[in-house]
Amino acid sequence: ELPPIGDRPYFQRAIGSDQVVISEPIIGRASGRPLVILAMATPRRDGHPTGIVAGTLDLASARLFSDIGLTDARDGSRTLVLDRSGTVLAHPDPARVMGNAADEPGLAEVYRRWRNAASPIHTDGRAVLSSGYLISMAGIPVSDWMLVHLRPQQVALRPLHAAQRAAWLSAAAVGLVAALLATWFGLRVTRPIDKLRDRAIASLTDARSNLAPWPAKWGGELGELARVFQHVEDERERRERDTRALLQQLEAVLDHAQVGIALTRDGRFELVSRHFCDTFGMRKDEMEGMPTREIYPSDEAFAALAERARPQFMEQGFFTGEVELMRKSGESFWAHMRGRAVVAGDMSKGTIWTFEDVTEMRAQRERLTWDSSHDALTGLVNRAAFETLLTEATAQAESEPFCALFIDLDRFKQVNDTGGHAAGDAVLRDIAERLTAQVRKSDTVARLGGDEFAVLLPRCPIGHARDIAEKIRKTVVDYRLDWEGHRFAIGASIGMVRVDGNFDSAKAVLSAADNACYAAKHRGRNCVVVYGD
């Protein structure tokens, strides 16, 4: 039996959020090993979560950070991974995992300053000399983790010190023989310096595969300087490899996510998951670098989302909502989007988005909404929906008077008794179409049940309402149904009521209209009676 997790902070955070939550490092109750949990709430159709989907990362696994190399036995360097609270997530010494960064030799002072600065996560990296170490720190994208590299100061600066010593010796020698060898030495030195300068500039602009090798065979300070430059270039390439490895790990995580995930910055896609690309019918190399505008059906739709999302980002720090998007084929679809800035309050650092195709869910929701408020046989508004509209109109009747009709079909029972229910259903469908054709677009026709109908006529004077009622009565009287050798004719008894604040409820309005309809029946049917006449 799995241990309960409802009391875990990450569970509480995930169940209350619509974003992926990364837990604080914990000791697994079942495994007893240090873990972090990736968790996300699973919503029901009503938007409330039913639980979470979670996965674990074993911090003690030798494979988790194998690509970055945690230690270098040659010079005493070591690499750590910390979270925002200072907990050690990866360390060359497995016993230090889950320890505190403040206890790490050489790191205490830098860690204290970092904590006092509110533990910022800078993905562009920082480096500082402290406590005998050159300490480099860089944030890991899409997480609250920091990659920390400690190299002994004497090792890090050894090439520079050697270059300084060589430079002093060379300078002293030059001073002794400057008068005799100035011209010769100037020409001799200037040419290699130019070459070294050109090579250094090229290393900043050209691909390494296109560069000539550093002149490592030179002696003196230029040779030392060349070797320092080569060391710096090697370090830069190593860090680039480490960064690429981390990005590959991140892309692997993204590609296995079952929702579309994208990182955008400056109006373009920087990272996209496989599921995200599949949703739009595009390849990753097509989408990465593409303007975000391209997934919207029009400029107006793109601008409308910006206007809609901006207040949510400013007030809540995130955006969530359903948005119409467009696939590469031109097909439109609906997606539920969630967005949050990588750095809270700073959209320039990028925004993480999750997308989920909800086209089918939205259509089903609209069908359910329509079915719950309409009569299945006639397609008219049903009794419950009509009573809701009537209640709202009655509450405002003093300032916006209206009229209501109650219609009962005459001789409908004969149709059912002679032609059967199929004939009766055909009559009801035909009458529903005729009633709808006689009213205004602002009016509402409803089937209350059986052969009873009602019409809501907002902002309609009683004289005009009487004309509409007469048109309805006449179109019903003129109707004929030929059914299996029989010809059926029906009529309509109509009760009408004027509402201008004289009724306190929809029930009272319906009762008055029903009484007027009953009076029409007693006057011989097929007529219109106004309540109170």
Q: Kindly state whether residues 248 and 165 are assigned to the same domain.
A: yes
> What pLDDT shows up at residue 71?
59
- Domain's final residue, options 131, 156, 181: 156
Q: Kindly state whether residues 356 and 482 are assigned to the same domain.
A: no
* Pairwise CA distance, residues 333 & 326, whole Å: 6
> What pLDDT shows up at residue 520?
93
For residue 431, being part of any structural domain is answered with yes
Which strand (E) or helix (H) includes residue 250?
helix 220-255
- Please, are residues 498 and 466 in contact by the beta-carbon 8 Å criterion? no
Low-confidence ranges of the chain (pLDDT < 50): none
* 319-345 tens-digit pLDDT: 888 888 988 888 888 888 888 887 777
The domain in which residue 92 lies consists of 66-156
For residue 114, being part of any structural domain is answered with yes
- Which residue, among 287, 276, 271, has the nearest Cα to 351 in the 3D structure? 271
- Please, are residues 312 and 340 in contact by the beta-carbon 8 Å criterion? no
> What pLDDT shows up at residue 62?
58
What burial class does residue 493 get, using C-beta atoms within 10 Å of its C-beta: 0-12 exposed, 13-18 middle, 19+ buried? Answer: buried
> What pLDDT shows up at residue 529?
95
- Domain's final residue, options 229, 252, 275: 252
Q: One-letter amino acid identity for 201?
A: I
Q: Kindly state whether residues 144 and 170 are assigned to the same domain.
A: no
Q: Kindly state whether residues 406 and 434 are assigned to the same domain.
A: yes
Full 3-state SS string of 369-431 = HHHHHECCCCCCECHHHHHHHHHHHHHCCCCCCEEEEEEEEECHHHHHHHHCHHHHHHHHHHH
Locus of tokens 């520079």: 160
Q: Kindly state whether residues 307 and 327 are assigned to the same domain.
A: yes
Q: Kindly state whether residues 461 and 435 are assigned to the same domain.
A: yes
CATH number at residue 468: 3.30.70.270
For residue 368, being part of any structural domain is answered with no
> What pLDDT shows up at residue 117?
81
> What pLDDT shows up at residue 386?
94
* 125-172 tens-digit pLDDT: 788 888 888 888 888 876 778 888 888 888 877 777 777 787 677 766
Instruction: Count how many domains the chain has.
Output: 5
For residue 134, being part of any structural domain is answered with yes
Q: Kindly state whether residues 177 and 146 are assigned to the same domain.
A: no
- Domain's final residue, options 221, 252, 283: 252
Name the CA dihedral angle for 14, 16, 19, 21, rounded to a multiple of 10 degrees.
Answer: -30
Please, how many CA atoms are within 13 Å of residue 189, restricted to the half-sphere of its CB? Answer: 14
What burial class does residue 62 get, using C-beta atoms within 10 Å of its C-beta: 0-12 exposed, 13-18 middle, 19+ buried? Answer: exposed
- Which residue, among 457, 434, 433, has the nearest Cα to 530 in the 3D structure? 457
* Pairwise CA distance, residues 305 & 344, whole Å: 20
Q: Kindly state whether residues 35 and 85 are assigned to the same domain.
A: no
Q: One-letter amino acid identity for 290?
A: M
* Pairwise CA distance, residues 383 & 398, whole Å: 24
Q: Kindly state whether residues 443 and 508 are assigned to the same domain.
A: yes
> What pLDDT shows up at residue 1?
55
> What pLDDT shows up at residue 104?
85
Locus of tokens 């860089």: 138
First to last CA, the chain: 76
Q: Kindly state whether residues 261 and 247 are assigned to the same domain.
A: no
For residue 4, being part of any structural domain is answered with no
Q: Kindly state whether residues 378 and 525 are assigned to the same domain.
A: yes
CATH number at residue 302: 3.30.450.20
Q: Kindly state whether residues 358 and 432 are assigned to the same domain.
A: no
* Pairwise CA distance, residues 15 & 531, whole Å: 56
